[in-house]
Chain A
Amino acid sequence: MRSPLKNTLKALGFWAFASMALADAAAPPAPAAPAEHHWRLGVALGYGERTNPLVQSEKIPVLVDLDIAWFGKRFFFDNGDLGFSVLDRPAFTLNAVARVNTDRAFFSKTNTKYINFQYLGAGVTVTPPPTTPTPEPQPFKPPKRDYAIEFGFETLFDGEWGAATLRGFRDVSGTHDGFEVGADYDYRYTRGRFSIAPSVGVEYKSRKLNDYYWGVHAGEASTNIIEYHVDGGFGWHAGLRTNYYVTKHLRAALSVNYERLQNSVAESPLVKDDYVLGFFSGFAWTF
C-alpha cells in the first residue's frame, strides 16, 4: 500500500475514532419524532445555469433537477451518494459515504475549436508577433477526464445555531489518487411560508486531485498548450437558497451559489474563470 493512501486512511480512521469518542460525551437523546417515509422524491422545474470554468466549454443549463433519496435505518442513498450511518448521536451523525467526484461534470460540455495562438501557463495567452507568419489553426479540445469514486466520512452537526458538516474523501477508484477535506455551515431562517438559508464552506483539495482534473499532463501538451501542474489548495463557496411554500408539496425556489477556485487551479491553461457561479429559479414539487 502506498504511503499517501495509508496516511489518508489513517486520518479517516482517526476521524471516525474521534467521532466515536465524542459520542460518549454527548447529551441525552432528543424526544422521538414522527416517523418519516424512507423515500424522498422531488422534482424542480425552472431555469438556471452554472458557469463552466473550463476553456472552450459551455455553461451548464439547469432546467430540471431531480431529488431521489432513500433513507433506511443505517444505509442511505442520496442523489448518487451511498452512505452508512456509523453513529447517530444527539450531538452529531457520522456517516461513511461513497460518492462520485463532481469536478468531472465540467468536462462534459466541451467543444473543439480551431485556435492559432499559444496557451501559456498562469492564465496568460500570447498571440504571435505580426511580423512572424501566422501559424496554421490547430484543432484543440479540452482533454478528457474520468469520473472518480471517492470514499470517506462526513460528520453532520445541527442545532439552534444552524447546521455544519465536516467531511473527508479519498479516491478509491485509482482515477486521481487524491483527497479532499472540507467544512460547510448553513443557517435556515423560516418565517411563515418563506425560508432563506445562507451557506458558506471551505475545502482543501490535494495536489493529485487538482492536477488530474485541471493540470495539463505531459501527454496532452502540444504547440497549443504547455504542460502545467496544479498544486493542492483551499477554495471556498457561499450560497443562498430561498423557498416560498405554496402548498405542502409545492414551493417556489430561488438559489444562487458562488464558488471560488483555488489559485493554482485558476491559473491552469485549462481554466478561463477563477470562479463558478450558478443560479436557479423555478418550482419544486416534493412527492
Chain B
Amino acid sequence: MRTLITGIAASAFLCLALPAFAADPPVKLAVKPLLCVVDKGASSCLMSFDIRWKATQTGEYCLNDSAKPEPVRCWAPAINGAVLQEREVREEFIYWLGAPGGADHLSEVKVSVLRVDSADRRRERRTRHVWDVL
C-alpha cells in the first residue's frame, strides 16, 4: 500500500514538475512582429524586426535566418542579446539561435506571410450569407 501511494505521489510530482521544466528552455528567442500581410499590388513587406534572446547559461550564440547562409549576428560569451533588423519579407522564414557553425536550432521563431488577395478572382467574390463577414 505504501509503495502504491509513493508511486502515485511520485507520478503526481513528475506530472507537475515536468511542464515547469519544459516551460523553461535553455534559450528563449522572441521576435516582433511575426506576420507580414501582403495585398494586391504588393509582393513583399519591408519589416523592422525587434529580436531578443535570453539563455540560462552563458555561451556563444549565433542568430540565423533560414533564408540566408550567413548568421545575422553572433555574440561572444553572453547570456542575452538583442538586435534590430530591417528586412524585406517575401515568403515564410525562420529566425533561429544556435552555436557558431552549428545546425541545431536551440530556439526558433517563424515569421509568416499572409496573402489576403488571390490570383483566382472567384475567391474574392462577395458571398451571399445572411451576414457576410469572412
Answer whether residue B87 sits at the interface, using C-beta atoms and an 8 A cutoff.
Answer: no
Cα of A245 to Cα of B125 in the assembled complex, Å: 20
| A282: chain B residues within 8 A (beta carbon) | 133
Can you list, as one digit per residue, whether each of A92-115 has a CB less than 8 Å from chain B (1) or not (0)? 110100010010010000000000
> Which label, helix, strand, loop or mixed, suits the secondary structure of the B interface?
loop
Answer whether residue B4 sits at the interface, using C-beta atoms and an 8 A cutoff.
Answer: no
Set B40, B120, B134: member contacting A42, Cβ < 8 A: B134
Q: Say whether B127 contacts A79, CB under 8 Å.
A: yes
Can you list, as one digit per residue, whether each of A4-35 has a CB less than 8 Å from chain B (1) or not (0)? 00000000000000000000000000101110
Cα of A161 to Cα of B121 in the assembled complex, Å: 15
Q: Say whether B119 contacts A33, CB under 8 Å.
A: yes
**Min distance, Cβ B67 to any Cβ of chain A, angstroms:** 16
| A40: chain B residues within 8 A (beta carbon) | 123
Q: Say whether A65 contacts B131, CB under 8 Å.
A: yes
Closest to A160 in B: B41
The A42-95 residues at the B interface (CB cut-off 8 A) are: 42, 44, 48, 50, 60, 62, 65, 67, 69, 71, 76, 78-81, 83, 85, 88, 92-93, 95
Q: How many interface residues does A have (CB within 8 Å)?
A: 57
Known: A192-B37, A245-B114. Contact between A81 and B127, CB under 8 A?
Answer: yes
Q: Say whether B133 contacts A48, CB under 8 Å.
A: yes
Cα of A140 to Cα of B121 in the assembled complex, Å: 46
| B119: chain A residues within 8 A (beta carbon) | 30, 32-34, 36
Set B35, B124, B127, B130: member contacting A158, Cβ < 8 A: B124
Cα of A40 to Cα of B129 in the assembled complex, Å: 15
| B126: chain A residues within 8 A (beta carbon) | 165, 184, 186, 199
The B90-134 residues at the A interface (CB cut-off 8 A) are: 112-134
> Which one of A130-138, A171-179, A204-212, A247-255 is at the B interface?
A247-255
| B118: chain A residues within 8 A (beta carbon) | 33, 36
Q: Would you mind naming 22 contact pairs between A and B with Cβ atoms under 8 Å apart?
A: A32-B119, A36-B120, A48-B133, A65-B134, A67-B127, A71-B120, A71-B122, A76-B122, A88-B121, A93-B121, A95-B125, A105-B130, A154-B125, A190-B39, A193-B33, A193-B35, A195-B116, A199-B126, A247-B34, A248-B35, A248-B112, A255-B133
Interface residues of A, Cβ cutoff 8 Å to B: 30, 32-34, 36, 40, 42, 44, 48, 50, 60, 62, 65, 67, 69, 71, 76, 78-81, 83, 85, 88, 92-93, 95, 99, 102, 105, 154, 156, 158, 160, 163, 165, 184, 186, 188, 190, 192-193, 195, 199, 241, 243, 245, 247-248, 253, 255, 257, 278, 280, 282, 284, 286
